[in-house]
A and B are shown apart, each in its own frame.
Chain A
Amino acid sequence: MTEAIQVENLTKVYPTPGKQKGFLAVDQINFCVHQGEVFGFLGPNGAGKSTTQRMLTSLLTPTEGSIHIFVHDLAHDAYDAKLVIGMVPEESNVYTELSAWDNLIFCAQLHQLPKQTRQKRAKELLETFGLWEKRHDKAENFSKGMRRRLSIAMAIIHYPKLLFLDEPTSGLDAHSTHIIHDLIRKLNADGATIFLTTHHIEEANQLCDRVAIINYGKIAAIDTPERLKSAFQQVQSVEVSLHTREESSLPSNLEHSLNSLSNVSTIVKNGDKWRLYTQNPSALLPEIINYAGQNQLQIISLNTLAPSLEDVYLQITGGQIGVVQPNQKDANTPQRKRGNR
């Protein structure tokens, strides 16, 4: 199988003024992205996602290691590699002073599309992305979702074989997110390899054939979402919703009581439900039923849940399952400093 991306011992150390040792943002990572797959690149803020993506797109010079885009060595043959890639950055980088049409035509010129092809392609993309009616409007008057769609259209105008998407749905409403997810699926179905950088776990779960989780500059895990989940069976859980039989309120010590059941390792309240993490759901279920019976509580719903990709992600990146992590940003402060470069 042809590899769309092949990365070997990729390292990035940012020079730090006044210090002999720089800041290590990416540390000897190795991975490959197969042609035709949607590859998710997950990680917390400052983990090295953007740095890696910028190196893969030739925007940043690696300190060490090699990158091959298809057969092209990025260090020596960047021109040919650039011909086959497209990039959608996290912030939509459209020219706000230009119309949607002019933005697309400019990008088509940058990728050497012949005049007739570029006009045909621009029309086709504006129609696909629902921007045809607004083609003569300046992009400064566009909503965030419209700019994002235009930004994606600009990145794919030259039919790239490899498309880099950095947080493509960040800050978008559900409708725009849905449109962009459909577009990613369609682009992939049309043959494009997609490198999706995201910290939206569910997005990666829905869209990606394989995911890599990067943490503190190192690849912590890389596999298909389902195989990653199956490797973390210890984070299975039971979700239960309880009500009182009468109109009285639930006991104040309910959470404490559920947490003290013998098979519960962690408990998290999600709205009107409790999620009880366990290594043995089949033993926990009768415990919950007994507890409810003894305390005159009615079970509204009771479900066993396999580990989600989010659970896997949190396990790998060191976050506590289901718990809001006020200190996580602080813990990553040194890396976040360079995170968006």
Chain B
Amino acid sequence: MKPFLKRISAEISLGWAVVRKDIKVYYLRPGMVMFGLLMPFFLFFSFSVRREMAAAEGMARLLALTLFFTAAAAGPFIIPLERRLGTYDRLLIAPMSLITLLLSKTAVGAIYAISVSVIALLFGVVFFHAPIAQPWLLAAGVLLGAFTFSTLGLIFGSIPVRNPGDVQMPSNLLRWGLLFISGVFIPLADMNSVARAIAYLSPLTYAQDLMNQAILGSGQINLWLDLVILAVSGVIFLIPSLKLHQRGKVLGY
């Protein structure tokens, strides 16, 4: 095997080892499992009680929110925790590039979000007979949304601190901000031009629109724009994580 291919193969293998370790150590804990099982139900009841909403419409909203909240549920806190316990050093001195490490951390959050979303989806389909207009688009949307929101969470995990509590406040502030300006609470069609322009700043808007296109069969934004913006945002969100890690190596974290 050529050295380059050998290196790529080794990086994938190492990244996958980190993913499996993180799932075992952090995501299969009772608290995380309960959070994953209960979060969609809480979200469902929060947005459906006393509201006139079709099952499919509720399903699209539920999936977008589930992805948004679960993909970055633990990511921002795992790295600071590992830094505090010294276990992150073990990963940093392993023969693995930083981008592989960050992608593996992203993948863990995404896998968790996808697993929880599948449960929410099954719940909606089985109990509320929610129709799925474009299943393949739904799969692509769930994958892309999970990746993008996981990289968003990773930015906070990359802040050079050793106390997970230090990233909790800024992480929550940004996530709730992105939630409120998105088209989840008020559909884009009902927004005035200023509110709509602000809504376009939130990646959740595109995830919500993509879910609408996949489940309801129609959305307010061009389908390709939804896909491209989600994918590009995910890649762009990796840049501050890389920079923050490099800064952490200068500061001594």
Say whether A associates with B. yes
- Bound complex: CA A16 to CA B57 (Å): 52
Task: Return the contact of B95 from the options A82, A95, A97, A98 (Cβ within 8 A).
Answer: A82
Q: Is A141 an interface residue when CB atoms closer than 8 A count as contact?
A: no
In the complex, what distance in Å separates the CA atom of A59 from the CA atom of B83?
12
Which stretch in A105-113, A252-260, A284-292 binds the other chain? A105-113
Minimal Cβ-Cβ distance residue in B for A13 = B250
With a CB–CB cut-off of 8 A, which chain B residues contact A91? 85-86
CA distance A79 to B94 in the complex (A): 8
B27 to A: closest C-beta gap in Å: 11
Which residues of chain B are near A60, meaning CB under 8 Å? 249-250, 252
Interface presence of A134 (CB below 8 A):
no
- Distance from A289 Cβ to chain B, minimum over Cβ atoms (Å): 55
Does the CB pair B14–A95 fall under 8 Å?
no
Once the chains are docked, how many angstroms separate the CA of A95 from the CA of B26?
11
A48 CB, nearest partner CB in chain B, Å: 12
Is there an interface contact between B87 and A82, defined as CB atoms closer than 8 Å? no
Number of inter-chain CB pairs below 8 Å: 79
Q: Is A54 an interface residue (CB 8 A)?
A: yes
Within 8 Å by CB of B250, from A61, A87, A97, lies: A61
Docked CA distance A97–B17 (Å): 16
Q: Chain B 81-97 against A: per-residue CB contact (8 Å), 1 yes, 0 no?
A: 00001110111111111
- When the two chains form their complex, are residues A59 and B17 in contact, meaning their CB atoms are under 8 A apart? no
Query: CB distance A79 to B14 under 8 Å?
Result: no
- Tell yes or no: A57 within 8 A of B by CB: yes
Q: Is B251's CB within 8 Å of the partner chain A?
A: yes
Known contacts A82-B94, A82-B95, A83-B95; A97 and B25 CB within 8 A of each other: yes
Contacts of A58 in B (CB 8 A): 92-93
Identify A15's interface contact among B7, B97, B250, CB under 8 A.
B250
Given contacts A87-B89, A93-B85, contact A110 B14 (CB under 8 A): yes
Given the known inter-chain contacts A85-B93, A87-B93, A112-B13, please indicate yes or no for A59 contacting B21, CB distance below 8 A: no
In chain A, residues 282-341, which have Cβ atoms closer than 8 Å to a Cβ of chain B? 338, 341
A3 at the interface (CB under 8 A from B): no
How many angstroms from the CA of A111 to the CA of B18 in the assembled complex? 12
Q: Mark B4-38, 1 if CB is under 8 A from A, else 0.
A: 00010010011001100100110001000000000
Of all chain B residues, which has the CB nearest A85?
B93
Q: Judging by beta carbons under 8 Å apart, are B95 and A79 in contact? A: yes
Q: Is A167 an interface residue (CB 8 A)?
A: no
Neighbouring A residues of B93 by C-beta, 8 Å: 57-59, 82, 85, 87
Query: Among the listed A54, A79, A98, A112, which residue makes an inter-chain contact with B97, where contact means beta carbons less than 8 Å apart?
Result: A79
Chain A residues with CB under 8 Å of B97's CB are 79
Q: Which residues of B contact A137 (CB under 8 A)?
A: none
Is the beta-carbon distance between B24 and A102 smaller than 8 angstroms? yes
Assess whether B249 is in contact with A110, with CB atoms less than 8 Å apart.
Answer: no
Q: CA separation between A15 and B247, bound complex, in Å?
A: 10
Report Cα–Cα, A83/B95, bound state, in Å. Answer: 6
User: A132 at the A/B interface (Cβ < 8 Å)?
Assistant: no
B251 touches A14 (CB 8 A): yes
Which residues of chain B come closer than 8 Å to A40, judged between CB atoms? none
Q: B69-85 vs A: 1/0 string, CB under 8 Å?
A: 00000000000000001
* CA–CA, A205 and B83, complex, Å: 32
What chain B residues lie within 8 Å of A59 (beta carbons)?
A: 89, 92-93, 249
In the complex, what residue of chain B is closest to A90 when comparing beta carbons? B86
Please give the residue numbers on chain A whose beta carbons come within 8 Å of chain B beta carbons, in ascending order: 14-15, 51, 54, 57-61, 79-80, 82-83, 85, 87, 89, 91-95, 97-98, 102, 106-107, 109-112, 154, 338, 341
List residues of B whose CB falls within 8 A of some A CB.
Answer: 7, 10, 13-14, 17-18, 21, 24-25, 29, 85-87, 89-97, 246, 249-253
**10 A-B Cβ contacts within 8 A?**
A15-B250, A59-B93, A82-B93, A93-B89, A94-B87, A95-B21, A102-B24, A110-B91, A338-B252, A341-B252
The 7 closest A-B pairs by CB, nearest first: A341-B252, A93-B86, A109-B17, A110-B94, A82-B95, A61-B249, A97-B25
